[in-house]
């Protein structure tokens, strides 16, 4: 199976990827690491709000909602 690297905001609902990298800088990067967005961690797109932003993701047994501007700076590996 071929692997692809995409931004988290492009991961379809119900699909799972593995965090590859966080492109945020400074305190924002630290915040995402503290929330569990550590490279190698599995993440699943759970659902999208009615307006399409934010989107909820399941990571480490927790549901976290992210705005598109934040999720577009997280790279994930998909199969």
Q: Summarize the confidence of residues 57-78 as an average pLDDT.
A: 96
Per-residue pLDDT reduced to its tens digit, 31-66: 999 999 999 999 999 999 888 899 999 999 999 999
- Number of domains present in the structure of the chain: 1
21 strand-pairing partners: 75
- Beta strands 42-48 and 4-7 are unpaired
DSSP reduced 3-state for 34: helix
Looking at residue 52, its pLDDT comes to 84
Distance CA 48, CA 54 (A): 6
Considering the entire predicted model, what is its pTM?
0.90
Helix segments in 1-79, DSSP class H: 26-34, 68-71
Looking at residue 35, its pLDDT comes to 92
What CATH number has the domain bearing residue 74?
A: 2.30.30.90
Looking at residue 1, its pLDDT comes to 64
Range of the domain at 22: 4-78
Q: Which of 26-30, 48-52, 65-69, 72-76 has the lowest mean pLDDT?
A: 48-52
DSSP reduced 3-state for 35: coil
The pair of three-digit structure tokens given for residue 65, joined into one six-digit string: 């909602």
């Amino acid at each position: 199976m071929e692997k692809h690297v995409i931004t988290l905001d492009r991961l379809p609902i119900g699909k799972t990827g593995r965090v590859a990298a966080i492109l945020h800088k400074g305190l924002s990067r630290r915040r995402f690491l503290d929330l569990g967005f550590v490279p190698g961690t599995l993440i699943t797109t759970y659902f999208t709000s009615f307006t399409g932003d934010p989107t909820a993701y399941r990571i480490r047994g927790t549901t976290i909602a992210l705005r598109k501007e934040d999720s577009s700076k997280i790279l994930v590996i998909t199969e």
